[in-house]
Chain A
Amino acid sequence: MLKRSTLDEIVRDHRLGEAAVSMALDLSGGRPGADAWRAFAARLLGAAGVAGLGAGAIFFVAANWRDFAVLGRFGVLEGFFAASVAAALWRPPPHAAGRAALALATLLAGALLALFGQAYQTGADVYELFVAWAVLALPFALAGGSGASWAIWWGIVNVALALVFGWIGPEHVLWRIFARWGADRPMLLLVPCAVNLAAAAGFAALRGTRFGSHAPRGLTRMLAALGFLYGTAAGIAESVSEGASHVAIPAFAAVSAAVAVAALRARRDVFPLALVIGSWIAVSTAFLAHAMHLHDIGTLLAIAAWLVGTSSAAAYVLMRWVRHWDVDEDELPEAAA
């Protein structure tokens, strides 16, 4: 489908009349017909149905918590889980039913783990639940073979990473281990940053291979964005804290430089460069605001000027790359296909 901005340019440059515009919209697939609307509604209803079944199964166990014995609770959830796996085997991916069933099985695997922890009072931390969930759900992500299934799996992994490296405090045993190594919070935040960026690089490398369906551009962008989110948080945390170890900012700068060099050499996607630039605008603004204490008109004006200047320069260079590189922003995410 042609982008509307391209159509707008054609209409403007050739002074098309209403009938010709209608023709252009129809020829370029710009106006969904009955079949397109039906397919769109079917996809939407299917996804909503899977979500409804998953949530309903989990809440059904919660609703009957007191009435079911331990075996009954597990029986209900395992019944739904087995049915999901059976459905995926009956209509395996890339069939839509198989992908939906695997997504449901992934959700139910987490519910089963939570139920296990609740029923037997294992004393496990929440992060342990998410780590175990990620391990158990990995086969489903592999079998799903799609960007959507990997996005769900990386969502679970990122909750686990956020809990381990961003949430637990000094009283936790893991923190004592980290502290023994001399790691502070900004340094710890670099771990999920590195994991996500490594994953983004790995999936990007899969593109063009026979595993390309696992790695749509939307997934690599999501992982890169998550990586830079953690890196930016690390940079801001270090720039505004007094007793920080001054490791996180140089390390994040090195990672950012590596990503920028790789993107500039590949000349395929401007998005990673936008992440690099946006992250450093955020870190530098936080540093300035902290250093100048934001207590008078002059410092507020300086921050405003810094933001306007850096973001304008960012837009200038990013748009230069967008115009000069052969970037196809219309590439569709595989999950929507």
Chain B
Amino acid sequence: MIATAAQLLEELQARGAIADARTPAAARAPRERPWYVGLLLGIAGWIAGACLLLVLALTFTSHDGPLVLAVGIALIVAAWVLFRADRDGAFVPQLALCLSVAGQFATLLGLGQVAHGSHEVAGIALAALVLQAGLVYAMPNRLHRAMSALFAAAAWAVLVRYGLWDRSEGVAVGSARSPGLAFLGWALAWPPIAALLYYIVREEPRWMAAGRAAIVRPAATGLIVALALATLLSEPFALFEWGGSATIRSGWLAIWPFLSVFAALGALAAAFALGERGLAGACVACALAHLSHFYYAMGGTLLVKSLALLALGVALLAAARVLRRGSAP
């Protein structure tokens, strides 16, 4: 297998795919940012954005909805200008990320204050979906695009939830009015995102050739993280209850964590297909967390659960052995 860019270029030239195997100056351009530098910048940018948001909260009152909305939009526009002005720098993109985070929250807060409807959570989620989808396209920054794709998927799940079957009062309300509707909500929220990821994986050569990699690849990263983790947003019960009144919910509710396990495995397959090894590890961790959740939510005695786990372990090991035999030369 070819392991270096020079070898690949020579092979492509030998096969007539390119005329000249010499690497243009642009291909020797700055190396990609390692994941740990991106993580450091992302965390710092988010905390700085939260500080700016607190500044806005201290500056404006709940009656200043239109003003907050205007400030939010202005901050997003300012972030866009900064990203365009200095794409490869360090300080300016970081400042832009901070402004954008504060601007997005302020825009949604302002919208929430301006429009008090009977379905305000669904309405704000719809606005967030449109905003984030636009930012995936507009913001010329890989980290920002990945985060926007993640939040767009989360906004879509919240929109389906509060538009279809849950109440709008409060966040993470713990009651499912209709399990059937909740299940329909899950089916509406996540399979389309999985299908979109499948399409992205299948059409990778096409969008790479069309010069869309700078947009589609970070968007795929955000969607993979969403499919692995954000399915929690569609579960019809509160994950965390404050005040120490949490009770273990069991029985049919266990189906939701189980669905999340499958979603995380789908995300894992997409990460593997796109060569995102770090993301694949994160997907495995998410699948394990969902599986633990499933174990506690599942009804039945401890004996049944332990026997099910033992049977599952034997079956999985047998399946792995069959696959290894099949791949042996």
- Chain A residues with a Cβ under 8 A of chain B: 1-14, 16-25, 27-32, 35, 38-46, 48-60, 62-64, 96, 270-271, 274, 277-278, 281, 285, 296-297, 300-301, 303-305, 307-316, 318-319, 322-323, 329, 332, 336
Contacts and interface: CB of A to CB of B under 8 A. Distances in A.
A52 B211 contact: no
B302 A49 contact: no
B239 interface: no
Contact of A16 (B30, B209, B306, B321): B209
Contact of B91 (A277, A303, A312): A312
Contacts of B24: 13-14
A12 B211 contact: yes
Contacts of B116: none
Given A42-B323, A48-B313, 17 more contacts: A4-B275, A5-B32, A14-B18, A16-B209, A18-B206, A21-B204, A29-B1, A42-B321, A44-B284, A45-B317, A46-B320, A49-B317, A52-B310, A53-B317, A314-B37, A314-B41, A316-B91
Interface of B: 1-5, 8-9, 11-12, 15, 17-18, 23-24, 26-27, 29-34, 36-37, 40-41, 44-45, 47-49, 51-52, 54-55, 58-59, 89-92, 94-95, 98, 204-206, 208-209, 211, 213-214, 217, 268, 272-277, 284, 288, 301-303, 305-321, 323-324, 326-327
5 contacts: A42-B323, A58-B306, A308-B44, A308-B45, A310-B44
Contacts of B317: 45-46, 49-50, 53
A29 B51 contact: no
A54 B276 CA distance: 29
A7 B208 contact: yes
A311 B94 contact: yes
Contacts of B8: 2, 10, 24, 27-28
B303 A49 contact: no
A313 B90 contact: yes
A310 to B, nearest CB: 7
Contacts of A304: 48-49, 51-52, 55, 98
B314 A35 contact: no
B326 A28 contact: no
A25 B1 CA distance: 11
Contacts of B327: 35, 38-39, 42
A27 B95 CA distance: 40
B316 A301 contact: no
Given A13-B24, A31-B273, A51 B208 contact: no
B41 A315 contact: yes
A39 B328 CA distance: 10
Contacts of B326: 38
Q: Would you list the 7 A-B pairs with minimal beta carbon distance, nearest first? A: A52-B313, A56-B309, A49-B316, A53-B313, A312-B91, A311-B44, A56-B310
Contacts of B311: 56
B35 to A, nearest CB: 8
Contacts of B208: 7-8, 11, 16, 21
A319 B37 contact: yes
Contact of A274 (B26, B37, B59): B37
Nearest to A317: B90
Contact of A10 (B27, B44, B313): B27
B48 A13 contact: no
Contact of A297 (B5, B36, B37, B55): B55
Contacts of A336: 277
A17 B205 CA distance: 8
Contacts of B309: 52-53, 55-56, 59
B4 A2 contact: yes
Given A45-B316, A322-B31, A309 B310 contact: no
B3 A297 contact: no
Contacts of B213: 4, 8, 11-12
Contacts of B324: 39, 42, 96
Contacts of A285: 47
B41 A323 contact: no
B323 A274 contact: no
A319 B306 contact: no
Q: Which among A14, A28, A278 has the greatest number of chain B C-beta atoms within 10 A?
A: A14
A82 B26 CA distance: 59
Contact of A56 (B95, B211, B217, B306): B306
Contacts of B320: 41-46, 49
Contacts of A308: 44-45, 48, 91, 94-95, 98
A91 to B, nearest CB: 11
A63 B94 contact: no
A62 B306 contact: yes
A49 B2 contact: no
Contacts of A96: 324
A322 B34 contact: yes
A263 to B, nearest CB: 13
Given A14-B18, A22-B205, A28-B1, A319 B30 contact: yes
B303 A63 contact: yes
Contacts of A14: 9, 12, 18, 24
Given A8-B213, A308-B45, A64 B51 contact: no
A22 B12 CA distance: 11
B217 A23 contact: no
Contacts of A25: 204-205
Nearest to A4: B275
B91 A18 contact: no
